[in-house]
Amino acid sequence: MAEKTVKVKITSAIAIAGKIKTPGTTVEIGEDLAKNLIGRGRAELAKGKAAKAEGDLGKMKVADLKDIAADLEIDGYDGMNQAKLIAAIEEARDA
């Protein structure tokens, strides 16, 4: 049985699976790791639009994508179209 996953917002720079995650980044991780990070003050439960599954980005409205981009502190998001927003959000989440 697969481990339950949880979306968290990183509050302090950490490495997950060999990649640096910066504060403000929303990631989906295993429940045990999420509890560990939250307990140590390194993450908090993701809330609102940033907590939506990454696979849902293509179905989201541009305004919602801009809200996520703002949460992720993506530069220049306000002038981006849907495709550029999705690419920027995915890149920010993978960073």
22-60 tens-digit pLDDT: 888 888 888 899 899 999 999 998 876 555 544 577 778
Decide: 92 and 72 in contact? Cβ < 8 Å. yes
Decide: 66 and 73 in contact? Cβ < 8 Å. no
Per-domain boundaries in the chain: 1-46, 50-95
pLDDT digits (tens, 9 = 90+) for 34-44: 899 999 999 99
- The DSSP string of 8-45 is EEESS-EEETTEEE-TT-EEEEEHHHHHHHHHTTSEEE
- Predicted TM-score (pTM) of the model is 0.51
